């Protein structure tokens, strides 16, 4: 533990729990570091938002390592999760209630496996309204929660692979490797549409960012225990 220098800069691998926001994680770790170093300001940031209902790898940078955030965010990511077929939600996941239902009797295993290929390579994707993207200086989810209509522009993303790992209709389980800026919620919605039905993301876990793996990650409380136990090196954050 004596090898840590949070002020000089560390990249912490956090296994984010469900219902925590990425900001919640940063705020909690920052609070522990401020207390340990006995200073009011301490640089802490994350490299890529995870939705509250998603779990898995979140890279949290401290001190001078915050300068590496842009580079970390640009790396490819791997996710596992599940898509519920036969319904849609406004948020494209379980944050909001099902607003429409669709038949799934016509969907076969062969169709499901074949449809994944439609989404591999460079594709255009429309982000969810319930997202942190800024439109005219305002987060998109704020428009959505106020029932205000705004146009979400399509963007190009790259899907390296989209694998089905298990089929238990109405749920389909998957693994995806994708580029920066990919919304797995949008992929779930579009996947359902391509099957002439509806779909929304029912679970999501991020397992990799570049060469970083969730297998090496710790939860927030474990990281806070490490911070509490080590002796700070006296440097300026």
CB distance 11 to 209 below 8 Å:
no
Q: How many CB atoms lie within 10 A of CB 131?
A: 20
Choosing from 51, 93, 215, 225, the catalytic residue is 51
- Asked about 51 being catalytic, the answer comes back as yes
Q: What does the alpha-carbon distance between residue 129 and residue 135 come to, in Å, rounded to a whole number?
A: 10
Catalytic (active-site) positions: 51
């Amino acid at each position: 533990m004596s090898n840590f220098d949070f002020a000089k800069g560390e990249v912490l691998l956090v296994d984010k729990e469900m219902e925590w926001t990425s900001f919640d994680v940063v705020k909690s770790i920052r609070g522990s570091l401020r207390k340990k170093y006995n200073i009011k300001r301490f640089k802490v940031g994350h490299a890529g938002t995870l939705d509250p209902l998603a779990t898995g790898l979140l890279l949290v940078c401290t001190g001078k390592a915050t300068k590496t955030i842009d580079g970390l965010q640009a790396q490819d990511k791997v996710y596992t999760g599940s898509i519920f077929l036969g319904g849609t939600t406004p948020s494209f996941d379980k944050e909001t209630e099902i607003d429409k239902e669709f038949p799934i009797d016509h969907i076969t295993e062969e169709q499901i496996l074949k449809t994944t290929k439609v989404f591999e390579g460079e594709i255009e994707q429309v982000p969810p309204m319930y997202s942190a993207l800024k439109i005219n200086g305002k987060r998109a989810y704020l428009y959505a929660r106020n029932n205000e209509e705004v146009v979400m522009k399509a963007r190009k993303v790259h899907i390296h692979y989209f694998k089905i790992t298990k089929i238990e209709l109405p749920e389909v389980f998957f693994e995806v490797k994708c580029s920066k800026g990919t919304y797995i919620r949008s992929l779930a919605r579009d996947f359902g549409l391509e099957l002439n039905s509806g779909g929304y993301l029912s679970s999501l876990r991020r397992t990799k960012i570049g060469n970083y793996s969730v297998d090496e990650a710790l939860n927030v409380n474990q990281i806070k225990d490490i911070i509490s136990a080590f002796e700070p090196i006296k440097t300026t954050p």
